[in-house]
Structure 1
Amino acid sequence: MTGVAGRPSLLRRPATWGAVLLAGLLAVLGAAWVTSLVPGTVSVMSMGYPDLGGGPPVAHEMPDGTSMAGAAHAGHDEPSVAALASIVDVTDLAGPPDGAPDVRMTLTAEAGTIELGTGERLEGYTLNGSSPGPTIEAVQGELVEITLVNASVPDGVTLHWHGIDVPNAEDGVAGVTQDAVPPGSSHVYRFVVEDAGTFWYHSHQVSHEQVRRGLFGAFVVRPEAQGELDVVLPVHTYDGLRTVAGSSGTSFHEVPGGTTARVRVVNTDGASMQVWVDGAQFRVVAVDGRDLNAPTALDDVTVPVSGGGRVDLEVPVPESGAVLIGLGGGSLVAVGPDDPGRALAAPPAERLDLLTYGSPAPLGLDPADADRRFDYTIGRRPGFLDGRPGLWWSINGHLYPDVPMYLVQEGDVVVMTITNSSGQVHPMHLHGHHVVVLSRDGVAATGSPWWVDSLDVHDGESYEIAFVADNPGIWMDHCHDLRHAADGMVAHLAYAGVTTPFLLGGEAANHPE
């Protein structure tokens, strides 16, 4: 059809413009799809973009041997030749190579059947034939040597020491600090436990599957060889079955009457939980392996435990009967000389706010004089993740792998603001460091210094945290709801001059999440 003077009819123009717009949209989507693809073999050092946090440039070694500093991205000068010449491999950041260990253990990982203490049988993974694996116990300052043997876990396995600030080479992250240990092979970890506290260990290879299916255990470091009476309670959910210390439902832990028990609760799940005590006043004496200052007695209140986090409760044990510990999900633990055989009361309505609990004490750092200030803004947006369309987690508006690499120098005081507008809670976990909470939603902390390695950031919340960069390496900074991490909620903290020879994917098939 033609119009006046033989010109094409205006009736055809909408279709023409529609075709142009469609072609443009397809081009944009195609470009987004291509840039989202993660190579089958890639170094974490080449992923994302450098973030200097307003600080000076940092030497950052690329896997091909070239160096960068993020200076072009931040308007700073490039680092000096001397800085670029002092590159350190993560394998050099290891524990003591010599000396007889004070604690030595072999942990053998197998695929097979888990038999719980209450008789249920599940298919999954075990360590030394059980799940949870053996509780590792040590005294502060001791040298620990753990040999991991992979008997039959097909995807390979590692061990990460959650909350223990080990040297970087001992961190157990597949593709970053080591290769996954294939079936028939082994790997030795050696490190000194510098801090007393309640910790745990788990695989960091295909962790969203391997942890859920059984590859984890508790790790207790005491300040001295003869300590208080301990009750260690790792909480774990196997495909909907809630367990405490390897048993479902109700369990009884015999403790002499008239004593004081230290109840160590370890949340190995990705979801936050509430803990409460029925039958006695109690105190929260530690969070994530760090003692609180001047904690006061509590009653009729629940205590939050972040995904991956731990709390230590000091509980007086009655002369007869038992104190009941509620752990959510129908789990109940009785602690005392006699099983009381009574039901647990409903959880209290009031929740403890750790922002105001206890008394202030020196932090050992000055956040007002921070060397670097970072933002970790958690959102959700449509896009492609490794070529898959969907609604994905974002970090500072970017989708994995185009996420920030936070760059620091040893000795830096770092302040980070974590903001969540994603619609879900995220337990944030920085490897190799503990951070102190400065404020929540602009309200300053007024209680005991609240040091954490796993921090629940709820939707709509904003936390300001601080730490000293005192443990050189390349460290994951990710959500410990491991399903979220597998869906791209992973960034890294990298120190000046540190690089890694290990690769994601590759022949070792390294997949840390």
Structure 2
Amino acid sequence: MRTSFRAATAVVAALAVLGPVGYFWYDSLVPGTYDMAAMGYPDNGGGSPVEHDHTVGMSVADLKGPSGTPDVAVTLTARKDGARYTLNGATPGPEIRAEQGQLIQVTLVNESVPDGVTLHWHGVDVPNGEDGVAGITQDAVLRGQSFVYRFVAKDAGTYWYHSHQVSHEQVKNGLFGALVITPRGQRIPDQVALVHTYDGKRTINGKPGIADLSATTLRVINTDAGPIRIWVSGTAFRVTAIDGHDVNQPDQVTDRAVPVTAGGRVDLRLSTPGRVDVGGGAALAAAGTQPVALPRDTIDFLSYGKSGPLGFDPGKANRAFRYDIGRRFGFLDGKPGMWWTVNGHLFPDVPMFMVKTGDIVRMTLHNGSGEVHPMHLHGHHVVVLSRNGVAATGSPWWTDSLDVGDGDSYEIAFVADNPGIWADHCHNLEHVPEGLVVHLAYAGVRSSFQVGGPAGNTPE
């Protein structure tokens, strides 16, 4: 009798422990094929309810660039050579240049990338159907297939492009390149510095060590997974643009480092030729310049430059969202571990931020996860209003790639003026398959594509 009682007690105790574990395991499972727009739960941000019927409305496939003869036409052929990926046989891929207002056409050909490939135009507010996110805005381009992207170079600035199919692997190993849009009619000499780490070695435009500085206007692009600090020696300089947006009346500075978020860009104007270090022994240098140590002080974009108009009033926002990043133990697609959370929820039970075209949106980004996260919203630029309760006082800080440090809170704002279904994720791309991604969805827009499926769409 005692043995039976003990056995029964053990079974009950095991069920009491394993029952909830089994429930959470089962609840975490993600289907092999699913509509990303149907995942999670709608968050209306305190505004009027937005219809969340993902089966009706305009398809993202219809939100395309214009027809007509392109001003700039490029073909990019993607290949996989061992662990390295290339575009037209090189990494970084070719630098694409256009003038503001020109129509760009890029034909992506997948010659030998087995998992498929796409191209995302990082920082360029393209129509949603041109955004290049596998399973959301298109199917991955499989071997032997091609895909044509078309969009107008609306905003001058420094941008880049990269794969958004198995992106944590493909970007790290070479599928990316620079995109520069120059102001109409301007011919100012400049130099691009794509900063990327290959096999633990930091490079500029794919080459380690010291390269020649050929211009005093420099476009720095951080394609790595984490933030970097760059510094100028031998001359004074100004930060003239951040993430493709001009800084209003930038201050001339010396002996201060410049932060560059993962995925972010800064434009520098040097007073005279000098030296620009990006860390890891990589630099651009004019003849005769000598290296100096990384400065102790760093420019704070919250107060850099002079204030100016935003073009809209954040005080009239009709939606307010919270994007609270945490980390906890749980199950993600049946796998136990420490996973990133959004507003306390594990993927796929995360918010879908719902908006209507024309909405003014405020969002609070808070990070309590223990690590820095470079947050990137597709299809929009946002303006930083405050950090940790301290209001921005410098030039309007427009950004599409924002480092949110552990313990920090940022308040940002933007106008919902680009209909679609847009990824809003960490650009430490290893964090995305670990659950740090949500989406911004417009009323009346649905996705025509699914994650998984015949194309094996894997946007992370």
TM-score category of the 2 structures, normalised to the smaller one:
over 0.9
Matches within 5 A, 1:40-439: 40-63=32-55, 87-96=57-66, 98-112=67-81, 123-255=83-215, 261-318=216-273, 323-334=274-285, 336=286, 339-340=287-288, 343-439=290-386
- Structure number, greater radius of gyration: 1
| Aligned mates of 2:204, 2:210 — CA distance in 1 | 9
Alignment check: 8 A CA contact 1:60 1:498 kept: no
Aligned to 2:444: 497
In structure 2, what is the Cα distance between the partners aligned to 1:420 and 1:16?
46
SS in structure 2 of the partner of residue 126 of structure 1: strand
User: How far apart, CA to CA, are the structure 1 residues paired with 2:30 and 2:48?
Assistant: 30
TM-score (ref. length: structure 2): 0.97
Q: What secondary structure sits across from 2:17 in the alignment?
A: helix
Compute the displacement of 1:252 (Å).
1.2
Contact kept in structure 2, 1:132 and 1:215, CA below 8 Å: yes
- Given the two structures, how large is their TM-score scaled by the length of structure 1? 0.87
Write the deviation string for residues 408-441 of structure 1: whole angstroms up to 9, x where unpaired: 0000000000000000000000000000000000
Classify the secondary structure of the residue corresponding to 1:333. strand
Gaps of 5+ in 1: 3-7, 66-86, 114-122, 256-260
Give, in angstroms, the shift of residue 389 of structure 1.
Answer: 0.4
Unmatched 5+ stretches in structure 2: none
Q: Is the 8 A contact 2:118 2:164 kept in 1?
A: yes
Q: Deviations for 1:469-511, whole angstroms, at most 9, x for unmatched residues?
A: 0000000000000000121111000000100110000111000
| 3-state DSSP of counterpart to 2:168 | helix
Which residue number corresponds to residue 512 of structure 1?
A: 459
Corresponding letter in the other structure for 1:324: R
CA contact (8 A) 1:60 1:499 kept: no
* 8 Å contact kept, 1:61–1:498: no
CA contact (8 A) 1:212 1:239 kept: no
Percent of aligned pairs with the same amino acid: 59
* C-alpha distance in structure 1 between counterparts of 2:53 and 2:40, whole Å: 14
Q: CA deviation at 1:253?
A: 3.0
Which residue type is aligned with residue 267 of structure 1?
N
Deviating above 4 A after TM superposition, structure 1's stretches of 4 or more consecutive aligned residues are 15-19
Counterpart secondary structure, 1:298 = coil
Q: Deviations over 1:33-67 (max 9, x none)?
A: 1111111110012100100000111122234x6xx
User: In the alignment, what sits opposite 1:118?
Assistant: none
CA contact (8 A) 1:200 1:266 kept: yes
Look up the SS of the partner of 1:229 in the other structure: coil
Paired amino acid for 1:348: P
Structure 1 residues 16 and 454: CA distance shift in structure 2, 3 A:
same
SS at match of 1:354: coil
CA distance in 2, matches of 1:19, 1:375: 43
- Measured after TM superposition, the shift of residue 368 of structure 1 is 1.5
Alpha-carbon distance between aligned partners in 2 of 1:297 and 1:411, rounded to the nearest angstrom = 37
Q: Please, which of 24, 27, 47 is the counterpart of residue 35 of structure 1?
A: 27
Preserved contact between residue 201 and residue 280 of structure 2 (Cα < 8 Å)? no
Distance (Å, rounded) in 1 between the aligned partners of 2:132 and 2:413: 24
- Contact 2:209/2:281 (8 A) holds in 1: yes
Amino acid at match of 1:91: A
Measure the CA separation in 2 of the matches of 1:462 and 1:205.
30
Structure 1 CA distance, aligned partners of 2:179 and 2:98? 8
The alpha carbon displacement at 1:16 in A equals: 5.9
Kept in 2, the 8 Å contact 1:45–1:61? The answer is no
* CA RMSD between the two structures: 1.5
More displaced stretch, 185-194 vs 362-371: 362-371
Cα shift at 1:317: 2.6
What is the DSSP-based 3-state SS (H/G/I as helix, E as strand, rest coil) of the residue aligned with 2:432?
A: helix
Letter in 2 for 1:146: V
What is the aligned partner in structure 1 of residue 423 from structure 2?
476
| Whole-angstrom distance in 1 between the partners of 2:435 and 2:198 | 23
- CA distances 1:330-365 after superposition (whole Å, capped 9, x unpaired): 21111x4xx32x541101000111000011111112
Distance 2:304 2:218 in 1: 19
Distance in 2 between residues matched to 1:448 and 1:32, nearest whole Å? 47
Residue 486 (structure 1) aligned with residue 433 (structure 2)? yes
Contact 1:409 1:469 in 2 (8 A): yes
Counterpart residue identity of residue 56, structure 1: S
Separation (CA, whole Å) in 2 of partners of 1:16 and 1:299 = 75
Aligned residue identity for 2:119 = L
Where does residue 258 of structure 1 map in the other structure? none
Contact 1:395 1:403 in 2 (8 A): yes
SS in 1 for 2:251: coil
Describe how 1:436-455 pairs up with structure 2 within 5 A: 436-455=383-402
Q: Is contact 2:375–2:427 with CA below 8 Å preserved after alignment?
A: yes
Give the Cα–Cα distance (whole angstroms) in 2 for the partners of residues 41 and 24 of structure 1. 32
For 2:293 and 2:414, locate their aligned partners in 1 and report how far apart those are by CA, in whole Å: 38
Task: Give the Cα–Cα distance (whole angstroms) in 1 for the partners of residues 272 and 249 of structure 2.
Answer: 21
